[in-house]
Structure 1
Amino acid sequence: MRSSTPKVLHPVAGETLLAHVLKAAPHGDGASLAVVVGPDHGAVAAEAKRVRPDAAAFVQGERLGTAHAVLAARDAIAAGADDLLIAFGDTPLISADTFARLRQPLRDGATLAVLGFRPADPTGYGRLLVEGDRLVAIREQADASAAERAIGLCNAGVMAFDGRAALGILDKIGKANSKGEYYLTDAVAIVRDLGLEATVIETSEDEVRGINTKAQLAEAEAVMQAKLRRAALDAGVTMIAPETVFLAADTQFGKDVTIEPFVVIGPGVSIADGAVIHSFSHIEQATIGKKASVGPFARLRPGTSLGDGAKIGNFVETKAAIIDAGAKVNHLTYIGDAHIGEGANIGAGTITCNYDGFGKYKTEIGAGAFVGSNSSLVAPVTIGAGAYIGSGSVISRDVPDDALAVARGQQAIKQGWAKRFREVKSRGKAKPAGADKDAK
């Protein structure tokens, strides 16, 4: 990946690759989860715990093949389970439904089920050799005959074992190969030698896309975004140009939501019924109420909450801001660490001065208050309900309910000053007689 970030911690649709896989993995009573990580990869183990608190981490001290990695979690496997599902942390598009389908043959008597797919170009993949419904072998391309290389069904690597037999089969895998590694694919031959049944479950190429480069990461993002857009459209969201809208895996929509072109929605966003997100807006970790309006060109940062019917207009930025129902912040404004009451109006160019270089402080604006344009509210400060702030004010003290506060220099008018100023300046620009001649 050419990155200091571990591969499985790279994001797709606002979630790490690992998080996507763990969320698709079986949940609930009776399910247990083992995550195998490399040495010094505590961040990967921590991410697994964040997503799945039931996850147990095991370290693979040496890289000696896929079967060796699985056996790093020997203690978890030995604890016993009805079945053992083996997946990869870099296949973010795999679904819970596919995992469920892969486990079904075990209930029907199979000992091993392997996930297969038919790529547009099978070059480099191991081929799945089948006889009827039974899997005979997995043949790596380097070892495959010409006829076997013509087979389109390929190995995705994901497997499900009968839990009662899993450890015994894994322990039989040897390393008599050119690399001296323990290959999980050898389990198929072992199952067959034991007179047990192995089978194949097929899925799409998209679902088992593994990621090893930034280009493949971008491809997976494109596939995921197309999937999320289709789901949003099917749920009733109106998107004028869906191909220009980017969503997070956890975005939640109410009914009759409209999203205009070129909107980016990051993680942790919910948008309630009838809300409209106008073009070129960026939103993350925010809650948007019913019939609220955002943008165009708005940025809602983490901790923003908009009440029903609230309005955030063009070139407005909010952060850790609660904006109650019907309040308006329409133009060129920054609202951070603030609570704006119901029906309040914040004029263009207003900022909450929430940071002094050391700490963050809160601004409270009461219901129905009116803050005039180009005002600076120096936190911590409270503007009372129904109060009025004169345009251009710097407010550093609390303002009572229904009061007027004006904090700016008093206007002075000097009659005729501008005319005299222009006359003086004009005379100063006139050249003295003979100036050009003297210069020569």
Structure 2
Amino acid sequence: MCNVGGVGQNAGVIGIGSFWGALPTEGRWLLSTVAIQTLGRGLTLPFTIIYLYEVRGFDLGLSGALMSLIAVTGLIVTGPGGTLIDKYGARTVLLAGLTAMIAGCTLLAFATHPAVAAVALVLIGVNFGVSWPGFNALIASVVHGDLRQQYFGVNFALVNLGIGIGGILGGFYVDVDSPETFTAIFLVDAATSLIPMALLLGPLRHVRTQAGPSDDAPSTAGYREILRQPAVLWLTLLTFLAMFIGYGQMEAGFPAYARQVAEVSTRVIGLSFAVNTAVIVLLQFLVLKRITGRRRTRVMVVMALVWALSWMILGAAGLLPDSLAAAIGVLSFMGVFAFGETLLQPTVPAVYNDLASDHNRGRYNAINAAAFQGGAITGPIAAGLLLDVGLGAWYIAIMVVGCLGIGALALILERRIPATANGVPEPVDAGQAPPPS
């Protein structure tokens, strides 16, 4: 493994200048290109279903089914992808995934038949399935200590910045009456995938994520054995619930409630996503300063309470439909929810990678990705079932209770992970299980 994290990556690194100065060269390469890489995804993400339905003329039900292929394929591929990362390294697997992404976006740009679109979206899903565990394993091999948590947080802010800018640019550029505008944004999405590919073939070509043949204590543990560890099991349940309550509602439950119950305009809903991006970009580094050196499980508890507050604000907006107060409530919901995201995103990936070793880092990150994708797939289903029969109040109540459940899981997790994995430099108690190897 290329141990470039080095000494000095500690809790004292909290300023922007000191953070950047503490990063190894490989970490700087990765971070400096994140926003550009994700700009292409932002160009296409909000408009893919519009492209399939309004430009290519596929019926709405078929278009929705085609869109689901990305998440379903990603979930299927994540497990094998994690194993391949541990065996062959993240670099090799990521290059394969990026190749699939480039091919998928290019094919989708010219897809005039549902079968062609299906193949394209499956290829995109393959990349989604391996990119999360692959890039997280790559980051963890380059950045160590408390700097790793800060890195995950800054990376999350830059991802949102790239996607947000891409979405704004795409909204001004695409025109359903001009199919070539959609062809252009998918080709740009394909082109932006060449950036991480160039990094992996150039400056990052020597970074290893897999354990070398001479490393001690090789691990053959599979997913079942990893998930039998209480810390991993509780963390995975927490991740799934957080995704079910959080991101699983962003593309379905939240917009549906805002339209059907709060009765706000589509313009307000679109503006709310801009508020989300702005809050994340503006607050993420300030939040990192406050949470560095604190127990990550306690940060998760605060996040759960913040999210519970956000859902109550949205519920209040539903009590005053088609009003200025409802619009303010919807916008406030997204702002408060985004604050919770800045607490969640630096902590959960850091815990997974601090529990993992070089022998199984790919599988740990694949479990994280699978829990995320599982919540993102099942969340919209539950929201649709509740809101379709007019149970808006029950929907909000379930979201709030789910948030409290996240907090409870975080407190259970706190008793089952080593202090170092929880973000505090305390020695492991004699009776506490050591971190898995």
Provide the TM-score with structure 2 as the length reference. 0.21
Question: Which structure: larger Rg?
Answer: 1
Higher strand share: 1
Question: Larger % of helix: which?
Answer: 2
Normalising by structure 1, what TM-score? 0.21
